[in-house]
Amino acid sequence: MNQQRSSSVRKWISNLLFVVAAVSATVLGGNDGLVTLYLPPWRIDLSFNLFVLISLATAMTAYTMIRAVSLLLGMPERAREWRVNKRDRNAQAALRDAMAQHFAGRYTRAQRSAQRAIDIWSATPDLAVTQDNQALAHMLAAASSHRLQDRTHRDAYLKQALQEAGRGKVLEEGARLLEAEWALDDREAGRALQLLSDLPTGVARRTLALRLKLQAQRQAGHPLDA
């Protein structure tokens, strides 16, 4: 395959050189024009063909130099963009690793990966990060902290997730439901019922919300309401 490709490239270059040679012989072969340059006290006589070649070479050289200078001046900006994109890729990879580790039950590793993504985004102000990504990272860190029974960090992560999720978004609804579920795990039935009552009507009618409400009523000792 590579040999066939190399052969086709050589054939294409040969055809191109043949066309260039034919056009040059046709256009420039019978041209007897003369170009005279006066640079007092000197006078320079050039054939028209040589003048055309020198002009083309000068134009190509000038374009190459301008292009090189432009690329050289733009290198710092391109290097900055490359560093920012690399940090974004690292943060996204850390977020994906946090999700995989959490679902695998490796909660300490999941918390560390989520925190690493958060740290990268926080340390890169030039990085355009969506609030959904940051909210998801904080929710994963909060969920892992809850599994580790680390309530202090769990509540801090969850509070940050709620601030970043935005009002009325799916992530904000998920964070509210998680908060109610964790209140049940903490044996705080009254707080869970209060959190569930604060949910929007559409969210409160979902199956998960109704199941949490049933568990909270049972835990609170309200069999009739359950």
Which 3-state string (H, E, C) describes 72-85?
HHHHHHHHHHHHHH
* pTM to 2 decimal places: 0.67
Query: What phi, psi does 88 have (nearest 5°)?
Result: -65, -45
| pLDDT for position 9 | 65
Q: pLDDT truncated to tens, each residue of the chain (226 aa)?
A: 556 666 776 777 777 666 666 666 666 556 667 777 777 888 877 777 777 778 888 899 999 999 888 888 888 888 888 888 898 899 999 999 999 999 999 999 999 999 999 999 888 877 766 677 888 999 999 999 999 999 999 999 999 988 888 765 888 888 899 999 999 988 988 898 898 888 888 888 989 889 988 898 888 888 887 7
| pLDDT for position 16 | 67
| pLDDT for position 144 | 94
Handedness of CA 54, 59, 62, 64 (dihedral sign): negative
The conformation of residue 206, written as its DSSP 8-state character, comes to S
| pLDDT for position 48 | 73
The conformation of residue 45, written as its DSSP 8-state character, comes to E
Retrieve residue 194's tokens. 């209060």
Cα(180)–Cα(211) distance, integer angstroms: 11
Cα(140)–Cα(208) distance, integer angstroms: 19
